[in-house]
Amino acid sequence: MANSTDILEEYSDKEYEFGFVTDIEMEVAPKGLSEDTIHYISAKKEEPEWLKEWRLKAYHSFLKQPEPHWQNFELPKVDFQDISYYAAPKSKAKYNSLDEVDPELIATFEKLGIPLSEQKLLAGVAVDAVFDSVSVATTFKETLKEHGVIFCSISEAVKEHPELIQKYLGSVVPYSDNIYAALNAAAFSDGSFVYIPKGVRCPMELSTYFRINTQNTGQFERTLIIADEGSYVSYLEGCTAPKRDENQLHAAVVELIAMENAEIKYSTVQNWYPGDKDGNGGIYNFVTKRGVCRGAHAKISWTQVETGSAITWKYPSVILQGDYSSGEFYSVAVTKNKQVADTGTKMFHIGKGTKSRIISKGISAGEGQNSYRGLVHVGAKADNARNFTQCDSLLIGDRCGAHTFPYIEAKNKTATVEHEATTSKIGEDQIFYLNQRGIDTEKAVALIVNGYAREVLNQLPMEFAVEAQKLLSISLEGSVG
Amino acid sequence: MLQIKNLQAKVEDKQILKGINLQVNAGEVHAIMGPNGSGKSSLASVLAGRENFEVTGGEVIFEGKDLLDLSAEDRAREGLFLAFQYPVEIPGVSNINFLRTALNEIRAYRNDPPLEAKEFLKLTREKQKLVEFDARLANRSLNEGFSGGEKKRNEVFQLAMLEPKLSILDETDSGLDIDALRIVSNGVNKLRSDKNAFIVITHYQRLLEYIVPDFVHVLYDGKIVKSGTKELALELEERGYDWIKEPVSTEPVN
Q: Which of B50, B73, B90 sits opposite A438 (nearest CB)?
A: B73
**A481 lies in some domain:** no
Lowest mean pLDDT among A219-223, A272-276, B56-60, B180-184: A272-276
Q: Which of B54, B87, B162 sits opposite A1 (nearest CB)?
A: B54
Instruction: Name the phi and psi angles at B86, rounded to 5.
Output: -125, 85
Distance (Å, whole) CA A304 – CA A314: 11
Decide if A158 contacts A48 (C-beta within 8 A): yes
A429 touches chain B (CB under 8 A): yes
Which residue of B lies nearest to A6 if distances are taken between CA atoms? B51
Q: Which of B76, B88, B92 sits opposite A438 (nearest CB)?
A: B76
Burial category of A173 from C-beta neighbours within 10 Å (exposed 0-12, middle 13-18, buried 19 and up):
buried
Q: Which of B73, B90, B99 sits opposite A440 (nearest CB)?
A: B73
Distance (Å, whole) CA A128 – CA A114: 10
Q: Which residues contact A341 (CB under 8 A, 6 or more apart)?
A: A306, A309, A311, A312, A313, A333, A334, A335, A362, A368, A369, A370, A371
Q: Which residues contact A353 (CB under 8 A, 6 or more apart)?
A: A323, A324, A383, A384, A385
**Helix residue ranges, H only, chain B:** 40-48, 72-78, 95-109, 117-130, 135-139, 148-162, 178-191, 206-210, 230-239
CA angle A302, A305, A308 (to 5 degrees): 130
Strand order in the sheet with B29-33: B80-83, B166-170, B197-201, B29-33, B215-220, B223-228
**A119 lies in some domain:** yes
Distance (Å, whole) CA B2 – CA B44: 13
Distance (Å, whole) CA B101 – CA B154: 16
Tally Cβ neighbours within 10 Å of residue A473.
Answer: 16
**A234 lies in some domain:** yes
Q: Which residues of A touch B88 (CB under 8 A)?
A: 427, 429-430, 433
Q: Which residues of A touch B99 (CB under 8 A)?
A: 437
Q: What is the dihedral of CA B82, B83, B84, B89, to 10 degrees?
A: 110
C-alpha distance from A356 to closest chain B C-alpha (Å): 23
Query: Hey, is A92 helix, strand or coil?
Result: coil
CA angle A59, A308, A265 (to 5 degrees): 75
C-alpha distance from A230 to closest chain B C-alpha (Å): 34
CA angle A45, A51, A56 (to 5 degrees): 100
Q: Which of B52, B93, B105 sits opposite A448 (nearest CB)?
A: B93
Which residue of B lies nearest to A429 if distances are taken between CA atoms? B88
Between positions 201 and 260 of A, the ones with CB within 8 A of B are: none
Provide the pLDDT for residue B57: 93
Is A433 within 8 Å of B90 when comparing Cβ atoms? yes
Provide the pLDDT for residue A3: 35
Distance (Å, whole) CA A55 – CA A175: 9
Is B81 within 8 Å of A436 when comparing Cβ atoms? yes
Is A432 within 8 Å of B82 when comparing Cβ atoms? no
Buried b (16+ CB within 10 A) or exposed e, A224-233: bbbbbbbbbb
For residue A347, give the DSSP letter.
E
Strand partners, B8: B18, B57
Provide the pLDDT for residue A407: 93
Provide the pLDDT for residue A12: 32
Q: Which residues of B touch A455 (CB under 8 A)?
A: 92
- Higher per-residue pLDDT: B196 or A450: B196
Cα dist from B231 to A299, B23, B32, B228, B237, whole Å: 71, 19, 13, 7, 10
CA end-to-end distance (rounded Å), chain B: 13
Is B93 within 8 Å of A432 when comparing Cβ atoms? no
Q: Which residues contact A34 (CB under 8 A, 6 or more apart)?
A: none
The number of folded domains in chain A is: 1
Q: Which of A1, A434, A445 to mutate: most B Cβ within 10 Å?
A: A434
Three-state SS for A176-208 is: CCCHHHHHHHHHCCCCEEEEECCCCECCCEEEE
Whether the complex's predicted ipTM is more than 0.95 is answered with no
Distance (Å, whole) CA A454 – CA A456: 5
Which residue of A lies nearest to B162 if distances are taken between CA atoms? A437
Query: Hey, is B244 helix, strand or coil?
Result: helix
A50 touches chain B (CB under 8 A): no
Q: pLDDT tens digit string along B200-245?
A: 999 888 888 899 999 999 999 899 988 989 888 888 888 888 777 7
Tally Cβ neighbours within 10 Å of residue B122.
Answer: 12
Q: Which residues of B touch A447 (CB under 8 A)?
A: 90, 93, 97-98, 101
**A398 lies in some domain:** yes
Q: Which residues of B touch A434 (CB under 8 A)?
A: 90, 98, 102
Q: Which residues contact B216 (CB under 8 A, 6 or more apart)?
A: B30, B31, B32, B33, B208, B227, B228, B229, B230, B232, B233, B236
CA-closest candidate to residue B215, choices B24, B38, B5: B24
**A245 lies in some domain:** yes
A440 touches chain B (CB under 8 A): yes
Distance (Å, whole) CA A454 – CA B176: 32
Range of the domain at A135: 4-475
Is B92 within 8 Å of A443 when comparing Cβ atoms? no
C-alpha distance from B69 to closest chain A C-alpha (Å): 11
**A480 lies in some domain:** no
Is B105 within 8 Å of A435 when comparing Cβ atoms? no
Q: Which of B75, B76, B93 sits opposite A447 (nearest CB)?
A: B93
Q: What is the pLDDT along chain A (481 residues), one digit of tens a residue?
A: 333 333 333 333 345 666 666 666 667 777 788 888 899 888 888 899 999 999 999 999 999 988 888 888 888 888 888 888 877 766 554 555 556 666 666 666 666 666 555 544 444 556 677 666 566 566 677 778 889 999 888 888 999 999 999 999 999 999 999 999 999 999 888 888 999 999 999 988 888 877 666 655 667 889 999 999 999 999 988 766 556 666 778 889 999 999 999 999 999 888 777 777 777 878 888 899 999 999 999 999 999 888 888 888 899 999 999 999 999 999 988 888 888 889 999 999 999 999 999 999 998 888 888 899 999 999 999 999 999 999 999 888 788 888 999 999 999 999 999 999 888 888 888 999 999 999 998 889 888 888 888 888 888 777 677 777 777 776 666 655 4
Distance (Å, whole) CA A475 – CA B202: 43
Which structural domains are found in chain B, ordered by start? 2-41+50-244 (3.40.50.300)
Average pLDDT, chain B: 89
Q: Which of B88, B103, B162 sits opposite A430 (nearest CB)?
A: B88
pLDDT at residue B188 is higher than 70: yes
Q: Which of A332, A363, A432 to mutate: most B Cβ within 10 Å?
A: A432
Decide if A385 contacts A375 (C-beta within 8 A): no
Provide the pLDDT for residue A7: 34
**A381 lies in some domain:** yes
Q: Which of B73, B146, B154 to mutate: most A Cβ within 10 Å?
A: B73
Which residue of B lies nearest to A457 if distances are taken between CA atoms? B92
pLDDT at residue B152 is higher than 50: yes
Instruction: Name the phi and psi angles at B87, rounded to 5.
Output: -60, 140
Q: Which residues contact A339 (CB under 8 A, 6 or more apart)?
A: A274, A275, A282, A309, A310, A311, A312, A366, A368, A369
Distance (Å, whole) CA A468 – CA B111: 28
Count CB pairs under 8 A between chains A and B.
85
**A102 lies in some domain:** yes
In sign, the C-alpha dihedral spanning A464, A465, A470, A473 is positive
| The residue type at A315 | Y
A196 touches chain B (CB under 8 A): no
Provide the pLDDT for residue A281: 79
- Higher per-residue pLDDT: B31 or A135: B31
